[in-house]
Amino acid sequence: MQLFHHYATELSDICSPVQPFPLSRPRVAMLNDDLINELGLQRNEFENDKILQSLFSDKGELQDKSIAQKYGGHQFGQWNPNLGDGRGLLLGEIKNSDGQLIDLHLKGAGPTPYSRHADGRAVLRSTIREYLAGEALHALGIPSSRSLCLISSHEPVVREQRERGAMMIRTCPSHIRFGHFEYYYHSKQTSQLDALFAFCFTHHFQDCASSHAAMLLKIVRSTALMIAKWQAYGFNHGVMNTDNMSIHGITFDYGPYAFLDDFIPNYVCNRSDHSGRYAFDQQPSIGLWNLNALAHAFTPFVEIEELKEILSTYEPCLVNEYQSLVRARLGLSISSLNANSNNGGDGDDTNDDKLANEIDNLVHEWLNILKDEKADYHIPFRLLSERLLLIKDRNYNALSDDFIDANRVRQWCVNYHEVINIVMKIDDLSWEQIQSRMLAVNPKYVLRNHLAQAAIAAAEEDDFSLCEALLEALKQPFSEQQGMAQFAKAPDTSSKGISLSCSS
C-alpha cells in the first residue's frame, strides 16, 4: 500500500501529530472485501496481525504520520470553535484507480488535543452502525464515507452505560468539513485559510481552476444532490452540524441516524434534538443553512451578490433531483421531462407541462396517502413495483388491500394506470420494462434501526454472523435474495421509530 501524507505535510499548521492508542485485546471483526478490491488494496494488509502491528507498533506504517485535524462548527445552530478530531486520526491518503486521493481515517483512536477531556474512544455499537450505514447508502447510490475494517475489543468504554470499545478505518475523498473553513475564517487566521483553500484546489477541486466561486458552486450542488437522495429514500441523518458536513457532498459522521419506518415527515431520530432542528423534513432547509454558514468563509474571495447567486442554485438543484428520483421510484420517469427539468424547466411544450402536472399530482397523492396512513415508507414502493403487472390488468385490489383507505388507493391506481400508458407510448416502453426499472430503484432491504440493534446485540456477544448477513442483504438492496426474508419485513409496533442519542 502506497501511503501519502499530503494533509499532514502541507497543512502541518492546522493539525496535530498524534499516534493511535491501542485497545485491550483487539481483533479484526469485519473486513470490507468489496471496498478493499475497489481501492486496489491487498486483503492481507488488513488482517489481524498485520493491521494491528501497522497501527500500534513503533514502526507501524499507519501510525507513522497520523494526525488529528482542527476545525470548528455550528452545533444545533450555535457556533463552537472548540472542535476537532476528538477520537479520530487521519492515517494518510492512498490513490484510487482514477488517481484520486482517498483518506484512511481511524475512528476510536484514543485521546487527541481536541478530545475536550473525553476518552477519544468509539464503542462497538456506534462503530457497527456506521459500518453498516456506509455500505447501505453506497448500495442505494447515496454518496457516503465507507469502512475498510472494524476492530472490536474487550476494553470497557462508558457512555450512557458500560460498553465495549472498537475502532474502524474509514475512507472518503477527504475529512475536510464545512467547519474547517468556518474555523479559520472566524478566528481570522488568514494564512491558514488561504493554505486550506490552496490544498483543496490542488488535491480535491482541480477542475475549479482555483476559482473560489466555482468551488463553492460545486459544494452547493453536491450537497443538494446528496440531501435530495436522503429525502427520496427516507434517510434521516440526525446531526447535521456544520462540522458533520463534508465538502464532497457525502454522507458523513454517522450518529443517531435512521431510515424511516412509518412515513412521519417530521420524524426526529435523535433524542438529543429536543427542538426537532434535524427532523427528516427539515434536512433540505438545514442543508441550505449550513451552506450559508460555509459561504461566510468565501467572502474574502467572492462578492456577496455572487455568493447569493451561487446559494440560490441549491433549491432548484435539490428539488429537480428529488422529483426525478421519486418519479423513477414510481415508474413515472420520462426522458423528455427529465431533460426539461435538468435544463431549468425552460421548456414551453404545453403537453409536456400537462403531463408533468399529472405526474406530480400522482407523486404528491402517493406520498400523502403514506403520510395520512402513517404507512411504512419503503414497503409500499416495493409492493407497487412487484405488483405492477397486476395493476396493468386493472387488479387494483392487489395494491389497495394493503392500505386502510382502499378506495382512495384504488382511485390512485386508476389515475396511475392512465398515466403509465402515456409514459409507455412516449418512451416506447412496455409494462414489463417499467417494472424492471422500478425494481432496480426500490429497495427490498433497508437498514432499519431494529435490524441494526439486533446485529449489535449479537456482536456484543462476539457473534458477528448476523452483522455479516445483514450486510450481504444491504449490499444488494434491490435484488431478491434467498434466506434474507427477515431483513425485508417491517418492524413490529414496539420496534418502530427507534430514536438514539448523539453517543450512538
Active site residues: 243
Taking the C-alpha atoms of residue 485 and residue 373, their distance in angstroms, rounded to an integer, is 24
Confirm if 324 and 338 have CB atoms less than 8 A apart.
yes
Read off the C-alpha cell for 337: 421531462
Confirm if 157 and 169 have CB atoms less than 8 A apart.
no
Confirm if 55 and 63 have CB atoms less than 8 A apart.
yes
Taking the C-alpha atoms of residue 55 and residue 166, their distance in angstroms, rounded to an integer, is 14
Confirm if 448 and 491 have CB atoms less than 8 A apart.
yes
Cell 463552537 locates to: 80
Taking the C-alpha atoms of residue 477 and residue 124, their distance in angstroms, rounded to an integer, is 24
Angle between helices 283-295 and 314-329 (to 10 degrees): 150
Taking the C-alpha atoms of residue 298 and residue 279, their distance in angstroms, rounded to an integer, is 28
Taking the C-alpha atoms of residue 478 and residue 493, their distance in angstroms, rounded to an integer, is 25
Query: Roughly how many angstroms between the first and final C-alpha of the chain, as a whole number?
Result: 32
Confirm if 374 and 264 have CB atoms less than 8 A apart.
yes
Residue 251 is classified by DSSP as B
Cell 447501505 locates to: 136
Q: Rounded to 5 degrees, what are φ and ψ at 277?
A: -55, -40
Q: What is the CA radius of gyration of the chain?
A: 24
Taking the C-alpha atoms of residue 503 and residue 45, their distance in angstroms, rounded to an integer, is 30
Q: What is the DSSP string of 116-149?
A: TTS---EEHHHHHHHHHHHHHHHHHT--B-EEEE
Q: What residues contact residue 61 under an 8 Å CB cut-off, 6+ apart?
A: 1, 3, 54
Look at residues 459, 458, 448, 433 and name the one whose alpha carbon lies nearest to residue 487: 448
Strands 27-31 and 146-158: antiparallel
Cell 477527504 locates to: 174
Taking the C-alpha atoms of residue 265 and residue 281, their distance in angstroms, rounded to an integer, is 5
